[in-house]
Structure 1
Amino acid sequence: MNINKLELDEALKKGESLALEFKSDLKSLPDRDLIAAVVSLANTEGGNLLLGVEDDGAVTGLHPNHQNTAGLPALIANRTTPSLSVMVEAIEIGGVKIARIVVPKSRGLVSTSDGLLLRRRLKLDGTPEAVPFYPHEFIQRQSSMGLLDPSAAMVPELLAEDLNPLERHRLREAIRRYGGDQSLLPLADNELDGALGLSTLVDGVARPTVAGLLLLGKETDIRRLLPAHEVAFQVLHGTNVRVNEFFRKSLLQTFEDVEQLFKARVEEEEIQVGLFRVPIPNYDRRAFREAFVNALVHRDFARLGAVHVRIDEHGLSISSPGGFVEGVTLENLLVVAPRSRNPLLADIIKRVGLAERTGRGIDRIFEGMLRYGKPAPDYTMSDSFTVMVQMFNANADLDFLKMILEHEEKSGVMPIDSLIILARLCEERRLTTTDFVKATQKPEAAIRSIIEKLCEAGMVEAHGVGRGRTYMLSAKVYQQTGDKSAYVRQAGFDRIQQEQMVLKYIDVHGSIKRADVADLCKISPFQASRLLKKMSEAGTIQPKGRGKGTFYERR
């Protein structure tokens, strides 16, 4: 968390967070406490430590012992293991001096020179605290940062012979059924295990890996050696529980059992598109498969808790223990390079054919919702402990689906970015390039290229020029949906109508500002400025005031 002087005052008002720590220095903060606070930040997300600030954000300043901030980086480096490099900046607020210590997120684990290992977490009331970093949590952190692959770890308690031959047969059948790597099928059992990483040689003895135990292990061994592995399938109707099944079987058997329970709750209707009848499910099977497999494969097996699949009146939700892997956030979910907390297990599942081989299964999840005109998958309930995706059980937009299918019949499969743009326009009617950048998580230059192709295809229209350029669905699209009047409403009023609206507003309220015009006519601030300028030049209104305070009255 980087803070400049302009943002510092706002940060003080908001209070402490996982990445921001306040430390009072009225009584000269002991070096031990200072180092402990730095270590806890480094072992979490990094951030800023403000020395000379009370817990409530009051700025009380530095003790005389810390007035010379130049020595703090050396002190911190000498009292941490491995040595931690920080940046220290002296800041004056209202004549009071404080120190801002910028702590980087550590790629490894950092302790004080006394052996104290801490991390930060949020309490129930939302305020942060520093707590001990326990040994069982080391693997969680290292795997989330891509420094360790827990699924490749050897299971010393078992031999390869202890694996279940029936599960190996299930694995081969899965490769055939899901179109996996066919070159694996002719291999002998020990060759298959070695090729996929299901077992590893230790002193000449083949022992299963964690991935091997998950895929080929007997249920009793999985329960005993991997107690965190559990999957729950629940169907709720209000507060009543209709189905509540728990599984601790091998991953493939668990997937098959849960998929059967899911398929039993998929309902379809059909529509006629050209010569073909197209089924419309309440939940897309491929989207479910990708989301469920992601939850199984990328979960944190060092953290107790089940993968939950839940269906209720709102829709389908799938949650998985463990937050997003290092580098993956809600803001880059659609574009970040594929990453896994369990790389070996993820690779095996892709080679079997259960998951998208390109690593872009997230695209398929979005596609499975958007092409039917349903809301996009929602990941906003995810946090540092859980990843959750929700797929809402909304009615399909049949006109939207017909539009997509007719386009794909002529031009091939529609890219996910185009689907997102069209879905946003259906929902919000008129948007700018900046709006699409946030929705697709792509650079503006790439978005402009995508929109131009949609314009060429006759699906989107552009209105305005320069910074005020906006986009909406084309007249052809509105005509196909049978809602011609909606196009006229969204295309906007012509300039004469806009001028009349401005004059009517002035008659009622006495004056009007640029922001009022933009809101009234549903145009951008830039377009509002152009409209007001033309009306001023025509002599119908006159400006009063200067700068941001400018308003307009009838002449």
Structure 2
Amino acid sequence: MTPDELTQVLRNGETSTVEFKRCSDIPHADTFETVCSFSNRMGGDIYLGIEDDGSVSGVDGQRVAEIERNIANVANNHKLFSPAPTIETEHIAYDGRTVVRIWVSPSSSVIRFKNVVYDRVADTDVRIDGDIQISQMYIRKQNYYSERRIFRYVTPFDLRADLIARMRNMAVAQRAGHPWATMSNDELFRSAKLYDRDYVTGEEGFNLAAVLLLGKDEVISSICPAYVTDAIVRQHDEDRYDDRLMVRTNLFDAYDQLVDFIKKYLPDRFALERGKRTSPREIIARELVANSLMHREYSSPVVARIIMDGQSIRTINASRSFFEGRMKLGEFTPMPKNPIIADVLLQTGIAEKLGSGLRNLVKASELYTGVEPEFVDGDIFTATIPVKRSDISTNTGARTSQKEQVASVPDAVMGARVEEGMSTGNEPPYRQLDPIWAIFMSVGRQVKARGMVTVPQVVKDTGVDVRMVRKQLNTLVEEGQLKVEGKTRNRRYVSTPKLNLRTYEAYKDQINRIASEIHG
């Protein structure tokens, strides 16, 4: 690495793949926790001799060889790392000082440091304890797509002939002269990669994608017993639900049923886009359902959900992603979770090209409510379209109850546990939630109560690293939602008229509601 390249790294700051560490003599344990978390996510670079704010303090130039040797010895010590991570080191002369760079490769295995698993969330190393979280990590690290798993004893008689014809006709309707029009069924299966060969084992046959798209219901439930989409409307009865639809059928019928369910309870609202009359409701329903079906990890036991309430319409499903955190258009690279299923839905007109679904949802949400949607990726993917309470209609009337307590959140949903007994009445149990969500919840609580917030109080509430807290608060300052008063130790962040408290309350409500849904 050249000094100019390092200058660019310093300018960009810490990210999910970049970490700065102060190091005068030898690396401390937190450096190797980061090695572990990088290995378990998507790799990255650790720079020793750089302060949190990006200033270069350097390492002891006389001990560079000792530092690099120490890193190699620790990484290959089976009593500390299991299995050993793949790393490389180099040292860079920068402005009269020496910086040691540790390059960490993403691992195909789950790495443990001192028998603890660490994962990378935004720019923070997070300790992972839950069994479901660790199992999700194993799923993420599989080097094959689960939709390609072959079932040797599935035959054409286990598939529905009407769905095969439907798939063919939909593709032809989308594009005149589509090659599927003249193919035999066998040729169509191979063309769509639904009948495949595993070139490692030599097995050949129908795969999981074929079963999910075209299989009879009893075949789907036998091969994929955890597969279900649970759609819930919760408007009047917030303890349970006003209406519910549980879908376990093939993806074509599932798509139609779930889209109709959303449209049943989401009022239509026409808008003008580039002078043309359009229905944002149609786009929201179509894209939310298609995205949930295409990008779900079907080997996971986590139940997929579509939830409609007074706060939002949101989808929740298991994922397998190397990215963790909130997604913004233009700042991520779309990756297909199930490329075979995605291609079939693309050919039949149910879905559009990769990445277009999120862009369509952003446009539709702004037309429908004037608010941007939110996407959070990780082992669990959530897509949230904010709505007004009046936007979700039900015919069931009756009572409305308000829950004020914060429920403990299951590992599978939030990616972390809430420690039991932590709440003292005034302090909410935010620790070990997803760090960004925890910060926003703490900010919302304090601003609502006092009109201001401080870094130490957020750290106390959440247990999140002070650097990450400061970074999130500064982001809100840049957006004009908070303003800074005072300096250094007396610094506080004061709310502005632009601050949207409903955003932060939505986090709290979302966690409470998801917890109650999981618990039944």
Where do 1:291-330 residues align within 5 Å?
A: 291-322=288-319, 326=323, 330=327
Distance 1:67 1:242, change over 3 A: farther
**How many residues were matched structurally?**
368
DSSP-derived class of the 2:302 partner? coil
> 2:320–2:378: 8 Å Cα contact kept in structure 1?
yes
Aligned to 1:151: 147
DSSP-derived class of the 1:245 partner? strand
DSSP-derived class of the 2:141 partner? helix
> 1:110–1:117: 8 Å Cα contact kept in structure 2?
no
DSSP-derived class of the 2:260 partner? helix
1: CA distance, partners of 2:269 / 2:134: 53
2: CA distance, partners of 1:351 / 1:296: 15
1: CA distance, partners of 2:237 / 2:21: 43
1:386 aligns with 2:381: yes
Where do 1:250-265 residues align within 5 Å?
A: 250-265=250-265
1:162 aligns with 2:158: yes
2: CA distance, partners of 1:5 / 1:307: 41
Structure 2 residue corresponding to 1:211, chosen from 209, 215, 218: 209
> 2:327–2:376: 8 Å Cα contact kept in structure 1?
no
Q: Which amino acid aligns with 2:259?
A: E
> 1:375–1:394: 8 Å Cα contact kept in structure 2?
no
1:348 aligns with 2:347: no
Distance 1:369 1:5, change over 3 A: closer
DSSP-derived class of the 1:86 partner? strand
Distance 1:270 1:296, change over 3 A: closer
| Structure 2 unmatched runs, 5+ | 51-57, 77-83, 392-520
Q: Which amino acid aligns with 1:224?
A: S
Q: Which amino acid aligns with 1:375?
A: G
2: CA distance, partners of 1:72 / 1:343: 44
Distance 1:321 1:105, change over 3 A: same
Which structure carries more relative contact order (alpha carbon 8 Å, separation 6+)?
2
2: CA distance, partners of 1:74 / 1:164: 62
DSSP-derived class of the 1:185 partner? helix
Q: Which amino acid aligns with 2:218?
A: T
1: CA distance, partners of 2:115 / 2:126: 18
Q: CA deviation at 1:243?
A: 1.3
Q: Which amino acid aligns with 2:146?
A: P
Instruction: Please give the per-residue CA displacement for 1:431-451, whole angstroms capped at 9, x wherever unaligned.
Output: xxxxxxxxxxxxxxxxxxxxx
> 1:320–1:388: 8 Å Cα contact kept in structure 2?
no
Distance 1:82 1:375, change over 3 A: same
Q: CA deviation at 1:198?
A: 1.0
Q: CA deviation at 1:175?
A: 3.3
1: CA distance, partners of 2:377 / 2:44: 21
Instruction: Please give the per-residue CA displacement for 1:475-517, whole angstroms capped at 9, x wherever unaligned.
Output: xxxxxxxxxxxxxxxxxxxxxxxxxxxxxxxxxxxxxxxxxxx
Instruction: Please give the per-residue CA displacement for 1:170-189, whole angstroms capped at 9, x wherever unaligned.
Output: 43354356669733133222
DSSP-derived class of the 1:302 partner? coil
Q: Which amino acid aligns with 1:316?
A: I
Q: Which amino acid aligns with 1:318?
A: T
Structure 2 residue corresponding to 1:221, chosen from 200, 219, 222: 219
> 1:236–1:311: 8 Å Cα contact kept in structure 2?
yes
> 1:154–1:210: 8 Å Cα contact kept in structure 2?
yes
Distance 1:120 1:362, change over 3 A: closer
Distance 1:98 1:238, change over 3 A: farther
Q: CA deviation at 1:258?
A: 1.0
| Structure 1 unmatched runs, 5+ | 54-60, 92-96, 397-555
Q: Report the aligned-residue RMSD.
A: 5.3
2: CA distance, partners of 1:259 / 1:103: 46
1: CA distance, partners of 2:237 / 2:10: 45
1:85 aligns with 2:83: no
**Taking structure 1 as the reference length, what is the TM-score of the superposition?**
0.51
Aligned to 1:410: none
Q: CA deviation at 1:109?
A: 4.2
Aligned to 1:199: 195
Structure 1 residue corresponding to 2:358, chosen from 359, 362, 365: 362
DSSP-derived class of the 1:264 partner? helix
DSSP-derived class of the 1:234 partner? strand
Aligned to 1:42: 39
> 2:287–2:361: 8 Å Cα contact kept in structure 1?
yes
DSSP-derived class of the 1:42 partner? helix
Aligned to 2:245: 245
> 2:88–2:102: 8 Å Cα contact kept in structure 1?
no
1: CA distance, partners of 2:8 / 2:245: 54
DSSP-derived class of the 2:317 partner? strand
2: CA distance, partners of 1:138 / 1:268: 42
Instruction: Please give the per-residue CA displacement for 1:333-361, whole angstroms capped at 9, x wherever unaligned.
Output: 24755431222221121112111147523
Q: Which moved more, 1:287-296 or 1:177-186?
A: 177-186
Q: Which amino acid aligns with 1:149?
A: Y
Distance 1:171 1:17, change over 3 A: closer
DSSP-derived class of the 2:294 partner? helix
> 2:196–2:205: 8 Å Cα contact kept in structure 1?
yes
> 1:268–1:280: 8 Å Cα contact kept in structure 2?
no
Q: Which moved more, 1:168-177 or 1:43-52?
A: 43-52
Q: CA deviation at 1:208?
A: 1.2
Distance 1:246 1:105, change over 3 A: farther
Distance 1:343 1:99, change over 3 A: same
DSSP-derived class of the 1:317 partner? strand
Q: CA deviation at 1:380?
A: 4.9
Q: CA deviation at 1:292?
A: 1.7
Aligned to 1:528: none
Q: Which amino acid aligns with 2:87?
A: L
Q: Which amino acid aligns with 2:65?
A: A
Where do 1:473-488 residues align within 5 Å?
A: none
DSSP-derived class of the 2:88 partner? coil
1: CA distance, partners of 2:355 / 2:176: 14
Distance 1:164 1:43, change over 3 A: same
1: CA distance, partners of 2:126 / 2:324: 22
1: CA distance, partners of 2:298 / 2:111: 25
Aligned to 2:171: 175
> 1:175–1:181: 8 Å Cα contact kept in structure 2?
no
Q: Which amino acid aligns with 2:296?
A: R
> 1:325–1:341: 8 Å Cα contact kept in structure 2?
no
When Rg is computed on C-alpha atoms for both structures, the one with the higher figure is 1
1:106 aligns with 2:114: no
DSSP-derived class of the 1:356 partner? coil
